């Protein structure tokens, strides 16, 4: 199958490496100098150093040519951040004589300002003209590039597109499960990043494994409350895009969002932490949007609110802990 991946960050590059073993893959990036360097060295030093790019993996900076490679029967996979999703979709819409068979997105989060999920952004740009699917789940880019096993979930209202994504991505060390609960898969992928900041801060403060387990468990309850309010099915959050991704991001040392929490616990400024990461930590951008959305819907999300307080309201990580411990006892099912 012809596959084009739009976005040459760590995750886009890792997936391109994995899929190039079985498909004709083109990886598009907007940074011409970085892509030339990657092509010359067969290594994307800027975002995924230490991993060899297969000789048969195409690298391109021509958006129209890259999209044309996928064709009407291939896959177009968008590997941008949520912030970059709308601008890239608008670029795609402006391509002359370009037929987009489908769009699969890897980004996890809510758009700043609008608080829209990725499928809602796609609908605003293209209406119902272009089928779309979310590909999510517990997956660190470095491990995927290394060929280690992982399992993902693809969600779409379009059954044929789900089947096409499974046919393309499932294989080798990657398993893919399908779902029609797009909202549930997207909410799980978005909110888990915020909770990873909380668990990183807790671990950085030395609060112990009991506290980490409590944050993950009660965080899952927050994800579920928000998701169900937006129309998702509660059982989705017990799967890969919910509990699976939450556990990985909250506990894995490769998690950028967890590292934000660890840095906050050390007393570092958010700007310094982000500069050290050198990559997008979606939980930072997402926290304010989710807090505002929860308030608008009348949903209690105390961990999310506490994280947003640290990131944007000048609260300390100690304040966050005190705020959460001072909450009134309640039924666990609530």
Residues designated catalytic: 192
Sequential DSSP letters for 269-319: -HHHHHHHH-S--HHHHHHHHHHHHHHHHT---HHHHHHHHHHHS---HHH
CA distance 239 to 134: 15
Taking 3-state DSSP, the helix, strand and coil percentages for the chain, each rounded to the nearest 5, stand at 55, 10, 35
CA distance 117 to 90: 16
CA distance 291 to 305: 6
Residue for token digits 């590059």?
13
The set of residues, in sequence order, having a beta carbon less than 8 Å from that of 249 and lying 6+ positions away, is 138, 192, 193, 195, 196, 255, 257, 258
Tokens, residue 45: 């030093």
Looking at the DSSP bridge assignments, the partners of residue 28 are: 6, 60
119 phi/psi in degrees, rounded to 5: -65, -25
The set of residues, in sequence order, having a beta carbon less than 8 Å from that of 47 and lying 6+ positions away, is 8, 9, 10, 13, 279
Is residue 86 within 8 Å of residue 113, measured between CB atoms?
no
List strands edge to edge, sheet with 132-136.
Answer: 58-60, 24-28, 2-6, 75-78, 103-105, 132-136, 150-155, 174-179
CA distance 40 to 263: 35
């Amino acid at each position: 199958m012809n596959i084009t991946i739009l976005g040459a960050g760590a995750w886009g590059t890792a997936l391109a490496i994995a899929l190039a073993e079985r498909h004709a893959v083109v990886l598009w990036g907007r940074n011409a100098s970085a892509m030339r360097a990657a092509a010359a060295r067969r290594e994307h030093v800027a975002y995924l150093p230490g991993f060899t790019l297969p000789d048969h993996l195409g690298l391109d900076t021509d958006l129209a040519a890259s999209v044309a490679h996928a064709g009407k029967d291939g896959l177009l996979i968008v590997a941008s951040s949520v912030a970059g999703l709308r601008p890239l979709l608008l670029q795609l819409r402006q391509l002359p004589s370009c037929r987009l068979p489908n769009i699969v997105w890897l980004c996890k989060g809510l758009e700043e300002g609008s608080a829209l999920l990725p499928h809602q952004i796609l609908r605003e740009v293209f209406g119902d003209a272009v089928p779309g699917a979310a590909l999510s789940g517990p997956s660190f880019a470095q491990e995927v590039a290394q060929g280690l096993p992982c399992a993902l979930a693809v969600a779409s209202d379009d059954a044929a597109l789900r089947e096409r994504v499974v046919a393309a991505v499932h294989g080798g060390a990657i398993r893919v499960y399908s779902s029609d609960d797009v909202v549930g898969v997207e909410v799980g992928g978005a909110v888990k990043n915020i909770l990873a900041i909380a668990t990183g801060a807790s671990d950085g403060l030395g609060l112990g494994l009991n506290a980490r387990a409590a944050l993950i468990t009660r965080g899952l309850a927050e994800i579920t409350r928000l998701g169900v309010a937006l129309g998702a099915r509660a059982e989705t959050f017990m799967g890969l895009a919910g509990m699976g991704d939450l556990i990985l991001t909250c506990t894995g040392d490769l998690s950028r969002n967890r590292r934000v929490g660890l840095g906050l616990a050390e007393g570092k400024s958010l700007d310094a932490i982000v500069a050290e990461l050198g990559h997008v930590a979606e939980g930072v951008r997402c926290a304010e949007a989710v807090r505002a959305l929860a308030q608008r819907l009348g949903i209690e999300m105390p961990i999310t609110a506490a994280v947003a307080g640290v990131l944007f309201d000048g609260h300390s990580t100690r304040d966050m802990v005190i705020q959460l411990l001072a909450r009134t006892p309640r039924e666990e099912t609530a």
